[in-house]
Structure formats: C-alpha cells, structure tokens
Chain A
C-alpha cells in the first residue's frame, strides 16, 4: 500500500478490539489492507489532517469485531460433503439454503422424492444425514421405491455406513457375484458398513473426488466460511486425501478476489510420511512448501501430527478407568513413531500440532513434549494440543508449564456429552469435555475450532457452547468450566491467531494489523450469553475490502 492510498474511516456503533489497552472504540481508520488507527474521530484527527481521507458510514449501526479465525478445519472434507444433499434431524444453516429438521421416516422419503424430482434424469443423487433413530430402517428396496432408475446413495449421519439402490449398484458396477456374501456388506439391503464402507467409497471415489465436483464443494466451503464471519481459516491437515488435488483446487477456488479470507495451510506429517516414505523426506517436502505461497494461501513452519482415534467413534485413547464397556481407543500413529516425528520437527524448529482426543493421548503427547524440552529446550514453540476432548486438570497445569497451546473442539461437549455420560465414560468425565476455563486460568493460550465438517463452521456457535456449556439435551455441563464471553471471543480471534502463528498481523483490531473485521448486528459481549449463537453476521471486511453476507434463502 502506498501512502497516497486514501484513508477510509469507518465509524461503528461499537468496535470490540480484543486489544486490552483500548477494549472498545468508535471508529477505525483503514488504508489499503491495513488499520492505521483505532479510536474516535477526534483521536485519529492527526492522521486525517495529514492524508487524504473519507468517512464511510456503512457500519454506523453495526458492531465490528476482529474477523473470526477458525484455526482447524478441513476444506477437503467439506469439498466432499457439501455437494451432497442434506436430509438431517438437526437444522443446518447453509448459505445456499436452510436445511430444516426431518424427523420421521415419512418425512425423509418425501424429502428424498422432492430432491429426486428436482434433478436432471440420470444424474446420481447423494444424500447425507440419514439416522435410523429418526428416519427408520433403511434398505435398497426403500430407495428403489423412490426411484429405481436414478443412482441414489443414502449416507449415514456418522459417515460410517451407506445404502445404495439398484441403480447405484449398477452405476458403481457392484455385482452379486463380486460383493455377495462378504463381511460388512449386506447386499440384500444395499448396506455397506465398517470395512464394507471402504469398498463402496473406493467405487465412489472417481465421482466424489472428481476435480470439478471437488471444486464445486470448495466454492460452497467458501460461502460457509464467509457466512460464519471468518477472515482466516486453518487447513489443519493438507494432504488428507490427495495433496496435489487439494493444492491445485485451493489455487483455483480459494485464491481469487472473491475469497474473503486467507487460508493457513498446515501439512499432515503423517500423509507426507506415507507419500515420501521417510520422515526425513517428508520434512524436506514440508519445508519447501512455503515457496508456493500466494496472497491468500500460506504454508509456514507448522506441521500436523496425530495421536489417537476419533472422538465421535469412541476411539479416543482414555486413561484408566477408560470406557464403561471396557473397550479401548486406538492410536493413529504408534506412540514410538509419534515421538520420532515430534523430535524431528521439534529439532527443525517447527510449530507442532498434535491431534489428541482422549486424556491418554494428551498424556502421551505431554510426555513427549517434556522429553523434547529436556533434550533441547525451546521457548514460544507454538506446540498445540488439537481437539482436547478429554483431559485432567493436572494435564492443564502441565500444558501451561511446558508452554503449549490448546485448540479445542468445544462442540464435542454440546453434541456428545449427554450420550457419552450414559454410554461412554460416565457423567463426571463426559461433563468435563473441553476443560477450557481451567486453561484460561492457567494462562494457556486457548482457541476454539470447528474441525468442520465435524461441527458447524460458526465461530459464534462455538463461543456459545464454550460460554454456556449446554449439551444437546439442554443440560449445563460442568458450569465451573464456562468461559466468559470475552474469553470465548478471544478464543475465536486473537488466541486463534496465536495458534496459527499470525498474532502479529491478525486477530485484534489495532494500528498496524490487517483490516479484517466481522460485521455483526449485536455486540457479543453485551447480548445475553445464551443468544451468542443467534447474532446475525452482516458480512466481513477482509484486508480492507467489504464482503456483505447474502441473506440466506429459506
């Protein structure tokens, strides 16, 4: 930006800066992509006297906060899911339309029929969100009754099983001779589950990973991220499906003027190991990635590693007494491999993010971090515990003492705590999922993320869960772990910037930072806390350019 660029002053009903020395302000002065002063029209007068400027009143009635930052989501998973049609028991607010809850078997069939009728002949129909508790038993005969000619795929809400009708079986060339009588495939019902799902997905891959469809999905992700008020997102595992497909699609879809956010790209060290066949070769590959950087797509000195299995499938690794039914979680990386990888990237100066869902995974990861600090102490190392499902309060203290950050998926608490209290690990530990207030009290830099598509990519919704700790059944879980609205807002702005290593240029509103704002109808620090998630997002400003939100059709 040259100095001759005109300064634009945006007065607002209120500006929430997340900068402690000046918590709120009346106006922000922007030149090009940068904030030059925050304060009042009077206080910024010396800048205005010295430079050409104008006053723009468009945000006069709105509240500005720093643009929201989700430091951990998966654009590639979104690109696979978002082109599908949703028929779900829960409401989904999607920018291209609101998905209203479908709560009965009849309603499911009616909606499926509508989707079928609204579609060109022969075009396959992929539907996501089926759940037997609401939608009744599924089978290929039931889908055939909707239409036997169009290939129709009904995917379970969990992603872990799917059903195909006759036309879909033909389309995917799955025959009785081949797939009859196999474990985890019930061909009579067109049902593919567990390892059988892998077989069906292998057949679907040419379709769901087709570059044109994948790019369409990324365009939808772009709309979702914008509607959520994001100006920065982090892809916390580039290479999750296919590194080259992902990178080339990002270049095409997330790198142009219509993209109102930047994407921080964190390569998966596990995927790179699979592709390059040694950790050393993976490190070399990852180290060279920043050469590709553009204005909106940035690799840096971060890497993603994995400890244990998923929270949603109860494969998180738990310390004793473990799960009520006695089963154990699983490791995504053998512990010795994880240690080898952490050591390699630690010694190479990387900021390491480790996926940890269960408290045994947190314990392992902290043991490894402690070993690294003994072998080769580092400060401000940016080591981050990702997800942070189950933990103990002692672990929070260790995280603080070892200088690590936490990036938490607090939505687990909302969606899973009631059911896990009954059918997982019991009430005490289920209610303490996402132990976040303890993190703030211990001085741990703590951020919130969605892990989208695991939770809605709506930072204000994540903040709402963190402040209220209300589960899916309306019960407040472990009230002492509730965050204040200010802490929750920090967790989706400045703290998230720290987690991504962008704290010096985004995440708060102060002179010198990027002009990135979320434009809101109400002040998240003033509304009753239970209304946090309902604050309307009017749009965003990204690097000085205003991107209004399209009102959702209903």
Chain B
C-alpha cells in the first residue's frame, strides 16, 4: 500500500513548525513520518524526543522526524523501511507546495494526500505586494488544497482577513496558534475529509495525563499497560521503575518500554489517548499502582 503524503507549505514565519509541533504533541491516530525541508533545525519540542540519531529524531509516540536538507529522495527511501502511516512534509519557505507534491506523486510507495499552505493573517497583504516574495506567496496560496490562516488572534478584524483570503484564493480555515484538528491536515484536497466529516465518521479521541513522582513496580506496571493495550489508541511518555527510567509507547496495540538515557521530572508522565472515556478509565489502575 502506498503511504499518503501531506505537504505543509507557506512562507517563513507562517507557523509551519508550530503547527507540526502541536500536531505531534496532541493525540494522534496514526504514526507520522515528518520530513523537514525548511532550512535548518528540526524544531521539535525536546519533551517529545525519545532518540536522536544523526538527522533523524524518534519521538516518544513512535513518530519519526528527519531533516531532508534537499535530498528528499533518500529520506523517502529511508522512511519506506519504517512503520509509518502518513508522511508530513514541511516544505521550504521558498517552495511552491504543488511542485513538492509532484515528488509524492512520483516516488514509488507514496501517494499525495493533500497540500496545506499556512498564511500569516497579520502579514499576508504586505507579502503579496513585496517585489521579491509577492509572486512566491501568491503561487503558494493558489496551489494549496486548503489554506490555514494563522495569527488571526493578532488581527483587529480576524473575520475580515479570513474572508478576504477565502475570496482571493479559495477554501481557508483558521488555525489559532497552530492548533488544528488533525483531520484537517490528513484529509485529501478534493473536499473529502473536512473537519466535520472526520469527527462524524470517527469516534472522538480524548486524552488524559497520568502523573506521579513515586517509583513504580516494574512487572505490575507492565501487566497494567499490557491490559490497557487493547482499550487505548496510544500511550506515550515515560516512567521510572526499580529498574530505571523508561520511555513508554503504545502503538498498534503493542506496548514497548525502552530504557531512557535519563530520568524525567516528574518521574512518571503518561499521555493516554483513546475514544470517549477510555483514557480516563485507564488512568485508574495506574493511580492504584502509584499509591
């Protein structure tokens, strides 16, 4: 099966990195591969990182991020060997996302899910008139399957900006401080999965955080987590048992505990993600273990 690819584009400062960070930190129903082609650092929150190897980061939730530094091809080839459900490409600020999308349509093993272009509500009018980036920003916005408008909260008349963008370029959606429903990102371009559709066809995901400062008993903890494996979509975070600190992941209904390099504060923090009240119910046995 080919892996769907969503392109996240937009000029520098539009908020691509923030959006991707929020997405990675929130509840996810799939394992992401994130390819970052915006020159420079992978800016993923340190809290999310489980391992760092060369230009590749593995996150506590199983997602993988790598900086592609212009070699898209090798990054896509590498990802084919890992367990990824969906690829996000953070396009360079200089790129026209529809051109980046060609790569997803060309590279074997992948297919294009859609293109999302972020636009800064406070600055887009100036950008469009800038003699150096005007054409670029215009081409980015025209080429998007869906436009995500950021920084609306900093506008005097947010509705007016959103409206003007929709009228000039087409379908646009607010994305307050990078917060956006995952369905809005992962759906396809042609009207397919809009946010409302997504929430109606799929039970709502909720999450609960379990925190504790005491050292947990290793084997009983593993038993509890294994029992939760079928009732939750995801667990991510870390724990400390008598055997030391561990990174915990539940993905695909399998629990893994990987020894961590160092202890965290608090010693135990697990984000439990599931449908309806499952996360809340699941936190009960964990609380009992730590009392």
**Digit string of A265-294 for contact with B (CB within 8 Å is 1, else 0)?**
000001101110111000000000000000
The residues of A that contact B41 with a CB separation of less than 8 Å are 277-278
A56 within 8 A of B: no
Would A198 and B69 count as touching, CB distance under 8 A?
no
Per the bound structure, the CA–CA distance linking A278 and B69 in Å amounts to 12
User: Known: A202-B73, A202-B77, A330-B94. Contact between A336 and B12, CB under 8 A?
Assistant: yes
Would A334 and B69 count as touching, CB distance under 8 A?
no
Would B94 and A331 count as touching, CB distance under 8 A?
yes
Per the bound structure, the CA–CA distance linking A196 and B72 in Å amounts to 12
User: Known: A185-B106, A195-B103, A277-B40. Contact between A333 and B94, CB under 8 A?
Assistant: yes
Which parts of B68-117 form the interface with A (CB within 8 Å)? Answer: 69-70, 72-74, 77, 92-94, 96, 102-103, 105-109
B269 within 8 A of A: no
Q: B11, B94, B106: which contacts A184 (Cβ < 8 A)?
A: B106
User: Known: A194-B102, A278-B40. Contact between A331 and B136, CB under 8 A?
Assistant: yes
User: Number of residue pairs across A and B with beta carbons under 8 Å?
Assistant: 88
Query: Measured between C-beta atoms, what is the minimum distance from A159 to chain B in Å?
Result: 16
The residues of A that contact B12 with a CB separation of less than 8 Å are 334, 336-337
Would B40 and A364 count as touching, CB distance under 8 A?
no
Stretch at the interface among A147-155, A175-183, A244-252: A175-183
Q: Is the interface of A mostly helix, strand, loop or mixed?
A: helix
The residues of B that contact A333 with a CB separation of less than 8 Å are 39, 94
User: Known: A202-B74, A336-B12, A337-B12. Contact between A273 and B102, CB under 8 A?
Assistant: no
Q: Is the interface of B mostly helix, strand, loop or mixed?
A: loop
Would B139 and A337 count as touching, CB distance under 8 A?
no
Tell me the nearest residue of chain B to A180, going by C-beta: B108
**Digit string of A310-345 for contact with B (CB within 8 Å is 1, else 0)?**
000000010000000000101111111100000000
A360 within 8 A of B: yes
Per the bound structure, the CA–CA distance linking A333 and B11 in Å amounts to 11
A172 within 8 A of B: no
Per the bound structure, the CA–CA distance linking A202 and B106 in Å amounts to 13
**Digit string of A423-466 for contact with B (CB within 8 Å is 1, else 0)?**
00000000000000000000000000000000000000000000
Would A274 and B94 count as touching, CB distance under 8 A?
no
User: Known: A279-B40, A333-B94, A337-B12. Contact between A182 and B105, CB under 8 A?
Assistant: yes
Query: Measured between C-beta atoms, what is the minimum distance from B176 to chain A in Å?
Result: 24
Would B102 and A184 count as touching, CB distance under 8 A?
yes
A201 within 8 A of B: yes
B51 within 8 A of A: no
Per the bound structure, the CA–CA distance linking A271 and B92 in Å amounts to 14
B281 within 8 A of A: no
Would A182 and B139 count as touching, CB distance under 8 A?
no
B207 within 8 A of A: no
The residues of A that contact B69 with a CB separation of less than 8 Å are 271, 274-275
B209 within 8 A of A: no
Contact size class for B? 20 to 34
Would B106 and A274 count as touching, CB distance under 8 A?
no
The residues of A that contact B77 with a CB separation of less than 8 Å are 202
The residues of A that contact B135 with a CB separation of less than 8 Å are 328
A199 within 8 A of B: yes
The residues of B that contact A335 with a CB separation of less than 8 Å are 132-133
Would A196 and B106 count as touching, CB distance under 8 A?
yes
Per the bound structure, the CA–CA distance linking A201 and B41 in Å amounts to 26
The residues of A that contact B107 with a CB separation of less than 8 Å are 182, 195, 199
Q: B74, B92, B108: which contacts A182 (Cβ < 8 A)?
A: B108
B42 within 8 A of A: yes
Per the bound structure, the CA–CA distance linking A330 and B135 in Å amounts to 10
Per the bound structure, the CA–CA distance linking A332 and B105 in Å amounts to 22
**Digit string of B140-177 for contact with A (CB within 8 Å is 1, else 0)?**
00000000000000000000000000000000000000
Would B108 and A199 count as touching, CB distance under 8 A?
yes
Tell me the nearest residue of chain B to A361, going by C-beta: B132
Tell me the nearest residue of chain B to A330, going by C-beta: B94
Per the bound structure, the CA–CA distance linking A334 and B132 in Å amounts to 9
Query: Measured between C-beta atoms, what is the minimum distance from B103 to chain A in Å?
Result: 5
The residues of A that contact B132 with a CB separation of less than 8 Å are 317, 331, 335, 360, 364
Per the bound structure, the CA–CA distance linking A194 and B42 in Å amounts to 27
Would A274 and B70 count as touching, CB distance under 8 A?
yes
B6 within 8 A of A: no
B67 within 8 A of A: yes
Query: Measured between C-beta atoms, what is the minimum distance from A333 to chain B in Å?
Result: 6
User: Known: A202-B73, A331-B136, A334-B12. Contact between A195 and B39, CB under 8 A?
Assistant: no
The residues of B that contact A178 with a CB separation of less than 8 Å are 108-109
The residues of B that contact A184 with a CB separation of less than 8 Å are 102, 105-106
Tell me the nearest residue of chain B to A309, going by C-beta: B94
Per the bound structure, the CA–CA distance linking A202 and B73 in Å amounts to 6
The residues of A that contact B55 with a CB separation of less than 8 Å are 277
The residues of B that contact A195 with a CB separation of less than 8 Å are 102-103, 105-107
**Digit string of A182-209 for contact with B (CB within 8 Å is 1, else 0)?**
1111000000001110110110000000
Per the bound structure, the CA–CA distance linking A279 and B39 in Å amounts to 9
**Digit string of B46-69 for contact with A (CB within 8 Å is 1, else 0)?**
000000000100000000000101
User: Known: A184-B102, A360-B132. Contact between A334 and B93, CB under 8 A?
Assistant: yes
Which parts of B201-228 form the interface with A (CB within 8 Å)? Answer: none
Query: Measured between C-beta atoms, what is the minimum distance from B36 to chain A in Å?
Result: 10
The residues of A that contact B94 with a CB separation of less than 8 Å are 330-334, 337
Would A201 and B133 count as touching, CB distance under 8 A?
no
Given contacts A179-B108, A273-B40, 17 further A-B contacts (CB under 8 A): A195-B102, A195-B107, A198-B73, A198-B103, A202-B74, A271-B69, A274-B67, A277-B41, A279-B40, A328-B136, A331-B94, A333-B39, A334-B11, A334-B94, A334-B133, A336-B133, A363-B131
20 A-B interface contacts by CB (under 8 A): A183-B105, A195-B102, A195-B103, A195-B105, A198-B72, A198-B73, A198-B106, A201-B73, A202-B74, A202-B77, A270-B39, A277-B42, A278-B40, A317-B132, A328-B139, A332-B94, A335-B133, A336-B12, A337-B39, A337-B94
Residues of chain A whose beta carbon lies under 8 Å from any beta carbon of chain B: 178-179, 182-185, 194-196, 198-199, 201-202, 270-271, 273-275, 277-279, 317, 328, 330-337, 360, 363-364
Residues of chain B whose beta carbon lies under 8 Å from any beta carbon of chain A: 11-13, 39-42, 55, 67, 69-70, 72-74, 77, 92-94, 96, 102-103, 105-109, 131-133, 135-136, 139
